[in-house]
A and B are shown apart, each in its own frame.
Chain A
């Protein structure tokens, strides 16, 4: 079981509309991904909450069909 990279990106952007999402397929097997998610909504939010927002967008897929997602989150630099 696996998920396509664009599907992951779409789900994250549905949950966090302003998110800039970069997905990297780490192993080339469609099963081990890294995601970098940048959103202004993360500003001032502790890292745990930022990750929880991404996990919420992915719903119950995380830890299920999506086993391995290395996640980094950030707020965009201040303008």
Chain B
């Protein structure tokens, strides 16, 4: 396994809910990342985030790691959930909340 994959492994294992994004939760730098943050905040879930704009290695590496070409990317308990479109669909259908419940992640929603 390459160094960057090991690094990403460490990141996704480090938080129950982890968002790879552009910018920070306070200052998202892209509409899709902003939407992802809004969903997580609506769910009232604690999450970690990684600003890929600050780390070119992770920015490129995460695409291969997840087999997913775009940012944001959501991980729950080390498992890839999807990008912002999937997050939105799952949020609207209630599946995202169910997923958090199933994974034993506490949330306020």
Interfacial residues, chain A to chain B (CB-CB below 8 A): 47-48, 51-52, 55, 58, 60, 62-63, 68, 70-72
Contact = CB atoms under 8 A, between A and B. Distances in A.
A52 B86 contact: no
Interface in B65-107: 67-71, 80-83, 85-86, 89-90
A62 B69 contact: yes
B47 interface: no
Contact of A51 (B31, B63, B83, B90): B83
Given A63-B63, A68-B32, A72-B89, A55 B82 contact: no
Nearest to B90: A47
A63 B70 contact: yes
Contact of B68 (A52, A58, A60, A70): A52
Contact of A72 (B32, B81, B85): B85
Interface residues of B, number: 16
Nearest to B63: A63
Interface string B33-75: 0000000000000000000000000000001000111110000
7 contacts: A47-B82, A51-B85, A52-B68, A55-B68, A55-B70, A62-B69, A72-B85
Nearest to B71: A63
A55 B85 contact: no
Given A62-B69, A68-B32, A51 B89 contact: no
Contacts of A63: 63, 69-71
